[in-house]
C-alpha cells in the first residue's frame, strides 16, 4: 500500500526565471518525453512511470508526495493567501490485462482503455510478470496465404486475438510469471522523425506529463501556489484526478492532455486541429458537452498569454472523449478549469505522433498564464460574488 507521506525538500532562493528555454530545447524535451513514453504504466500498474516522475520532480518541488491512490502530487509554494492552482496530466496508458492462458500457452487479452482492434494484429507486447520481469510476445496474425475470402477484410475483435510468448504450454507460461491479471503494454520505442516531429506509444498523456514537469521547473517566485498532480487511471474513468482534486480543493485548474488532429489523408469533416500550429484550447469536449466546458475566464487567460508570448493557438470543440479537467471542475464548490492539449496524430495507437514545437509552446503558455493568477486577478475575475 502506498503511503501519503510528504517529503520536505530544500528551500529554494526565489528570483525571476526567463520563460524562454536555452540550448537545444526540443532535444532536451524529447529526452524527457522518450524516458516517460518508453516506460511501463498501464492503468492501475503505474509503478515504473511513477518512479520516473518522482525522480524528475524531487529537486524542484517544495513538497512532494505519492497519495494512497498512486497519484504524484508536487507543490511549489506561493504567497500566503494566494490562489491555489492545480495542474494535471495523467501518467497511465491504455493497455491490457491477461484474461486467459490456454493449454498451449497462448495468452488472451482484456482491454484497459479505448483500443481500436484494427491496430493490434502483428504488434509486439510486453507482459509485466509477477516477479517484475518483462516477458515479451507478439499478437499473432494469420499470414495472407491462410486467410479465407471471408477473413481478408474482417477486423479481428480483441477477445479473439492471442499473444504468442514462445512457450508450448500453460505451465511454461506460468513459470515465466504470465498469469491471469498481469498487465500488458505495447513494445514500442519513441523515436525522432524529420524535423521536430516524433513518434512513440503513450504520448497520451506522457507528453502532458513532460509539459508540466518542464513548466514546473520554470516557476520561481510566482504568487499562486501550484499543485502539480500527475494522475493515475485517467484512461479508465478519470479516477486519480477525482481523488486528488477532492482532497486539494483548488481555486483554479489547468489540465494538459492530447487531442486528435484531422490533418491527415482520409480525415472527414472540417479541418480544425493540425500539427505545428500550436497548443489547442479545448472549449468543450465529451458527447454534447458532457465532458468539460472550459471556464471562459480561464480560456481568455490562455488566449491573452499566448498573444503576449507570440505563441500560435488553436481552438477546438471535441465531439468525443474528455480529460481529467472534466472531473477536476466538479471538486468542492466548483473549480474554474481549462484544458489545453498538444495536437497528436494516431492517438490510442502504437505510433502516436506529435510536433515538439507544439509541446514546448505549451510549456511556456501554461507557466506564464499561471503566474498571472494572483490574488488580485482572482478576486476580480473568479471569486464568488455575494449578491445579497
- Please answer whether residues 71 and 86 qualify as being in contact, where contact means their C-beta atoms are separated by less than 8 angstroms: no
pLDDT of residue 9: 39
Nearest Cα neighbor of 197 from 334, 346, 306 is: 346
pLDDT of residue 7: 37
pLDDT of residue 35: 98
Please return the burial class of 380, using the count of CB atoms within 10 Å of its CB with bins 0-12, 13-18 and 19+: exposed
The catalytic residue among 234, 316, 352, 371 is 234
pLDDT of residue 170: 98
pLDDT of residue 320: 81
247: Cβ contacts below 8 Å, ≥ 6 apart: 67
pLDDT along the chain (388 residues), means of 10: 37 36 76 98 98 97 97 97 97 98 98 94 96 96 77 86 97 98 97 96 97 97 97 97 98 97 80 91 92 97 98 92 95 97 96 98 98 96 90
Instruction: Report residue 357: phi and psi, to 5°.
Output: -60, -40
Q: What is d(CA 165, CA 378) in angstroms, rounded to the nearest whole number?
A: 56
DSSP track, 30-63:
HHHHHHHHHS--BTT--HHHHHHHHHHHTTT-SE
User: What's the distance, Cα to Cα, between the start and end of the chain in Å?
Assistant: 48
Residue 234 known to be catalytic: yes
Cell 474554474 found at? 336
pLDDT of residue 8: 38
- In this structure, are strands 84-90 and 225-231 parallel, antiparallel, or unpaired? parallel
Cell 504468442 found at? 164
- In this structure, are strands 225-231 and 72-76 parallel, antiparallel, or unpaired? antiparallel
Structure pTM?
A: 0.92
Amino acid at each position: 500500500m502506498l503511503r501519503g507521506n510528504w517529503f520536505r525538500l530544500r528551500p529554494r532562493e526565489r528570483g525571476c526565471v526567463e520563460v524562454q528555454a536555452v540550448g537545444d530545447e526540443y532535444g532536451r524535451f524529447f529526452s524527457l518525453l522518450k524516458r516517460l513514453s518508453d516506460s511501463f504504466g498501464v492503468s492501475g500498474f503505474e509503478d515504473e512511470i511513477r518512479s520516473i516522475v518522482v525522480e524528475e520532480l524531487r529537486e524542484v518541488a517544495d513538497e512532494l508526495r505519492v497519495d494512497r491512490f498512486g497519484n504524484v502530487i508536487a507543490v511549489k509554494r506561493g504567497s500566503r493567501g494566494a490562489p491555489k492552482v492545480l495542474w494535471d496530466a495523467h501518467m497511465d496508458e491504455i493497455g491490457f490485462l491477461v484474461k486467459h492462458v490456454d493449454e498451449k500457452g497462448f495468452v488472451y487479452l482484456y482491454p484497459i482503455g479505448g483500443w481500436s482492434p484494427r491496430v493490434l494484429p502483428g504488434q509486439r507486447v510486453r507482459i509485466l510478470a509477477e516477479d517484475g520481469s518483462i516477458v515479451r510476445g507478439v499478437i499473432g496474425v494469420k499470414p495472407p496465404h491462410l486467410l479465407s475470402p471471408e477473413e481478408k477484410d474482417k477486423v479481428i475483435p480483441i477477445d479473439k486475438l492471442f499473444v504468442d510468448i514462445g512457450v508450448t504450454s500453460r505451465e511454461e507460461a506460468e513459470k515465466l510469471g504470465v498469469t491471469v491479471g498481469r498487465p500488458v503494454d505495447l513494445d514500442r520505442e519513441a523515436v525522432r522523425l524529420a524535423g521536430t516531429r516524433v513518434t512513440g506509444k503513450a504520448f497520451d498523456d506522457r507528453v502532458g506529463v513532460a509539459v508540466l514537469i518542464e513548466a514546473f521547473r520554470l516557476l520561481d517566485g510566482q504568487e499562486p501556489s501550484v499543485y502539480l498532480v500527475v494522475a493515475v487511471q485517467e484512461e479508465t474513468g478519470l479516477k486519480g484526478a477525482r481523488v486528488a482534486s477532492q482532497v486539494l480543493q483548488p481555486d483554479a485548474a489547468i489540465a494538459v492532455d492530447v487531442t486528435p488532429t484531422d490533418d491527415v489523408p482520409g480525415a472527414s469533416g472540417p479541418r480544425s486541429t493540425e500539427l505545428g500550429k500550436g497548443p489547442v484550447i479545448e472549449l468543450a469536449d465529451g458527447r454534447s458537452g458532457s465532458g468539460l466546458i472550459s471556464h471562459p475566464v480561464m480560456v481568455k487567460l490562455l488566449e491573452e498569454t499566448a498573444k503576449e508570448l507570440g505563441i500560435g493557438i488553436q481552438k477546438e470543440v471535441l465531439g468525443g472523449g474528455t480529460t481529467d479537467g472534466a472531473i477536476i471542475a466538479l471538486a468542492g464548490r466548483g473549480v474554474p478549469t481549462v484544458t489545453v492539449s498538444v495536437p497528436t496524430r494516431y492517438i490510442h495507437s502504437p505510433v502516436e505522433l506529435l510536433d515538439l514545437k507544439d509541446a514546448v509552446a505549451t510549456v511556456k503558455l501554461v507557466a506564464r498564464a499561471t503566474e498571472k493568477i494572483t490574488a488580485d486577478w482572482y478576486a476580480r475575475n473568479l471569486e464568488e460574488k455575494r449578491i445579497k
